[in-house]
């Protein structure tokens, strides 16, 4: 017997909306991080400052990648929800 996957289109759409909402907040968080770095620039010197900048730049790069991937992920979740809803409607019409 094959595997059965049960999908709640309402839950899928709700989850997609929530993930999108969280993802949309990332650019603002990155900006806050960059502003905090500027404020901290007077507290660091030499190698410590260079290391801090390098680490922060790496994290910003990773967050940017996450933002892009999550955007694609939420688009796919929303499309899947629409496809499931359309299939449910087609089945109801056919029956």
User: Is residue 93 a contact partner of residue 28, using CB atoms and an 8 Å limit?
Assistant: no
Q: Map out the domains of the chain as residue ranges.
A: 15-85
**Which class is 15-85 in CATH?**
mainly alpha
Question: From the CB of residue 16, how many other CB atoms can be counted at a distance below 10 Å?
Answer: 20
pLDDT tens digits, 9-57: 888 889 889 999 999 999 998 899 888 888 887 787 889 888 888 988 8
pLDDT tens digits, 65-90: 999 999 999 999 889 889 988 988 89
Q: How confident is the model at residue 1 (pLDDT cuts 50, 70, 90)?
A: low
CA distance 84 to 90: 10
């Amino acid at each position: 017997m094959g595997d059965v996957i049960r999908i709640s289109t309402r839950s899928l759409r709700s989850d997609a909306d929530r993930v999108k909402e969280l993802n949309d907040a990332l650019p603002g968080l990155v900006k806050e991080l960059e502003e905090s770095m500027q404020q901290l620039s007077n507290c660091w010197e030499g190698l410590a400052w260079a290391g801090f900048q390098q680490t922060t730049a790496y994290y910003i790069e990773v967050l940017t990648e996450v933002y892009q991937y999550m955007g694609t992920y939420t688009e796919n979740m929303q499309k899947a929800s629409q496809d499931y809803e359309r299939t449910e409607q087609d089945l109801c019409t056919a029956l």
